């Protein structure tokens, strides 16, 4: 189970306990938050194929009461960046397109998810064109297809329309038999 350790306000609501609260970073890799009475700590849990090992990050503290400075007091995102830079074996991928951290310019960490700069740009296209219906047309490299400098949107297939209706809570529902 993943816990809301990405936000200091949410971490304040967690109960004090010896066992850390964990959020999944990648397969076999978790970031943990151990909430103590007097001090809290960031921990890392790794799976080596047989067992889990847990390591407390020394000389750093969570940004619970003091703003993150990137040195001594680290936010969740700064802990993720530190772990990723310290351990090049972590297979971190964009949760949307599947590209690895080495294939993209930026990879943004969220609570148990990651999104690359390319997917953020695609999301921005949808937000910038709310009147467009359908799906964004992409080339083989997942880049948007442009016509006269504007993104091209394709109509949804019947199966895609059904899937959209299933998850669109504002759409009118057709009666079911």
89/124: higher pLDDT: 124
**169, pLDDT greater than 80:** no
Query: For 82-90, which contacts have Cβ atoms below 8 Å and span 24 or more sequence positions?
Result: 82/57, 83/25, 83/29, 83/31, 83/44, 90/25, 90/26, 90/29
Q: How far is CA 57 from CA 4, 54, 100, 147, in A?
A: 19, 10, 25, 50
Average pLDDT over residues 112-132: 84
pLDDT given at position 139? 87
Average predicted confidence (pLDDT) for the chain: 83
Local confidence band at 38 (pLDDT 50, 70, 90 cut-offs): confident
**15, pLDDT greater than 90:** yes
**173, pLDDT greater than 60:** no
**171, pLDDT greater than 60:** no
């Amino acid at each position: 189970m993943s816990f809301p350790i990405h936000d200091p306000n949410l971490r304040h609501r967690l109960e004090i306990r010896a066992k850390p609260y964990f959020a999944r970073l990648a397969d076999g890799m978790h970031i943990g938050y151990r909430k103590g009475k007097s001090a809290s700590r960031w921990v890392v849990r790794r799976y080596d194929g047989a067992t889990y090992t847990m390591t407390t990050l020394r000389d750093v503290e969570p940004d619970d009461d003091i703003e993150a400075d990137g040195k001594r007091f680290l936010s969740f995102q700064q802990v993720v960046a530190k772990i990723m830079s310290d351990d090049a074996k972590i297979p971190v991928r964009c949760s949307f397109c599947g590209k690895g951290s080495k294939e993209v310019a930026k990879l943004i960490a969220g609570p148990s998810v990651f999104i690359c700069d390319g997917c953020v740009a695609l999301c921005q296209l949808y937000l910038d064109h709310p009147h467009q219906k359908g799906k964004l047309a992409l080339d083989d490299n997942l880049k948007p297809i442009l016509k006269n400098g504007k993104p091209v949107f394709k109509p949804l297939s019947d199966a895609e329309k059904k899937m959209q209706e299933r998850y669109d809570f504002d759409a009118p529902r057709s009666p079911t038999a």
